[in-house]
Amino acid sequence: MSSNRPPRQSRVPTTRIGRLVQLGFTAGELAIGGVLEGAKRISRVTPDDAVNMFLTAANAEKLAQRLAGMRGAAMKMGQMLSMEGADILPREFTDALAALRDSANRMPRSQLRGVLGREYGKGWEARFESFDYEPIAAASIGQVHRAVTRDGRELALKIQYPGVAKSINSDVDNMAMFLRMANILPMELDISGIVAEVKRQLREEADYHIEARHLETYRRLIRNEPSFVVPRAHQDLTTKRILAMDYLTGERIESLERRGVSQAARDRCGTKLQHLLFRELFDLRTMQTDPNFANYLYRSEDERIVLLDFGSTASFSEEFTVRYGEISRALIAGDEGATRRYAEEIGYLRPTDSPEHAERVMRVIQLACEPITKRGVYDFGASDLVARARDAGIEMLFHSHGEFMAPPPETVFLHRKLVGSFLVCARIRARVRVQDLIQRYL
């Protein structure tokens, strides 16, 4: 597990009213920041584009601070926005929100002990030889503590923040409303399907019995993948709100370049991650869909990658993966007609869409799939794809004249994995023969 210490301590707001008030304060702060930014812009010429006065780095930092304090589904949506929003939001805004991928505020000891007492019962301390009250990680749904059991097992205990599970529906609804008020999402865009899918997935993430099953299933599926390590779940100490698993160590994967790991080793690391991505989609049809940097550790002694956090694990039907195989083949072949046909089958386009809108959507699809369409080595670190995709996404979203529709709900978490995997490879500046890897499954 990572050794980075979460930076701040605060009680988790546990009631719906308390969480709504927190988000209300945030909306007020952003409104004030937006007014001040608007006043600044009056005296100077600004580009006539979709970037509104609320989407500033200062406002993003305020939003990140509030969400890190709220934790739960609200923070999880902020994390998703920092990754998937890269296609449609200013870089300064998404960069400031990126802090949400690494850590949340930590619970004070009194609140932590309350959770442990409710889940393990009175005298829970007797189960452990030692328990470290200082968390080794704090994320959106829970924080992780190191412990050693009486029988000598070294464990990482993921302990869920109180009130998170009960507040999922209201958090998601309130965040969706907030994003519309801030003009981050167009008012006319129907996102009801995506909202329902996010709620469903987050309800699963909040049940640690489900995550423990995901851990064991995934360990079995990749048992023949020597490059990856997945912790075991310990059922005797796992409850609905506490997940007990092996304590594993490694370097945070995004630190590889900074620590002077060789280019060849980083290339091998990126190749392993891209290989696993395609195997998850086309072979296993089971995918860990939360690609936060903190969920990958790198063991330099054997170049193995530790995979953490299986709360967000998706399963795909054969029909679903076949369609992605078909559109991938069409894109690699440069067959625009077939790409358009498969884009309609997946639900990215409608037959009635205007040629102008269809062209914009096709452009975004082609950009998103650029690594697989390039023959030879794709240099993630040197790529400016994120900036180009953001420009194309802004044009598609805000110049669609009502034709833009939200992507199919079942693709939401796949998109998050695709974007996140690209960002991880870009962060470690890996160079990968991506097309060669996907061709094995096509």
Order across the sheet with 296-299: list the strands.
228-229, 304-307, 296-299, 251-252
Question: Could you tell me what percent of the chain has a pLDDT over 70?
Answer: 72
pLDDT at residue 129, rounded to an integer? 98
pLDDT at residue 31 tops 50: no
Cβ–Cβ under 8 Å, residues 183 and 397 = no
Q: In this structure, which topology does domain 105-138+141-163+206-248 adopt according to CATH?
A: Phosphorylase Kinase; domain 1 (3.30.200)
Which pLDDT score, from 0 to 100, does residue 137 have?
A: 85
Residue owning tokens 């945030």? 26
Of 33-37, 302-306, 390-394, least confident by mean pLDDT is 33-37
Q: Which residue has the higher pLDDT, 145 or 5?
A: 145
Gap between the Cα atoms of 6 and 134, Å rounded: 9
pLDDT tops 90 at residue 97: no
Length of the chain: 442
DSSP class of 282: I
Q: What is the DSSP letter of 280?
A: I
The answer to whether the CB of 360 falls within 8 A of the CB of 396 is yes
What are the tens digits of pLDDT across the range 225-277? 999 999 999 999 999 999 999 999 999 998 998 889 999 999 999 999 999 99
Structure token pair of residue 306: 């530790």
432, pLDDT greater than 50:
yes
Nearest in space to 142 (alpha carbons), one of 96, 170, 105, 196: 105
Q: Per-residue pLDDT averaged across 16-21, rounded?
A: 52
Euclidean distance between CA atoms 222 and 84, whole angstroms: 27
Write down the pLDDT at residue 3.
44
Question: Quick one: which H or E segment has residue 316?
Answer: none
**Inter-residue contact 342 to 299 (CB < 8 Å):** no
Residues forming CATH 3.30.200 domain(s) in the chain:
105-138+141-163+206-248
pLDDT tens by residue, 341-389: 999 999 999 999 999 999 999 999 999 999 999 999 999 999 999 888 8
Highest-confidence segment of 74-78, 325-329, 364-368: 325-329
**Is 281 a residue whose pLDDT tops 50?**
yes
Q: Which of 23-37, 158-172, 201-215, 273-287 has the lowest mean pLDDT?
A: 23-37
Q: What is the mean pLDDT of the chain?
A: 82
Residue-wise pLDDT for 383-416, tens only, equals: 999 888 878 877 787 677 678 777 888 888 898 8
Interval 99-136: pLDDT, tens: 655 556 788 899 999 999 999 999 999 999 999 999 99
Catalytic residue list: 290
Q: Do the Cβ atoms of 308 and 321 come closer than 8 Å?
A: no
- What pLDDT is stored for residue 58 in this prediction? 66
Query: Token pair for residue 144?
Result: 């992780």
3-state per-residue secondary structure call for 317-369: CHHHHHHHHHHHHHHHHCCHHHHHHHHHHHCCCCCCCCHHHHHHHHHHHHHHC
Q: What is the CA radius of gyration of the chain?
A: 22
Can you tell me the distance from the alpha carbon of 20 to that of 17, in angstroms, rounded to the nearest whole number? Answer: 5
Say how far apart CA 42 and CA 58 lie, in whole Å: 18
pLDDT of the residue at 107: 85
CA 260 to chain centre: 26
80 vs 204, higher pLDDT: 204
Task: Say if pTM beats, i.e. exceeds, 0.95.
Answer: no
* Cα 199 to Cα 166: distance, rounded to the nearest angstrom: 11
Task: Please give the Cα distance from 30 to 212 (Å, whole number).
Answer: 39
Per DSSP, 286 falls in state E
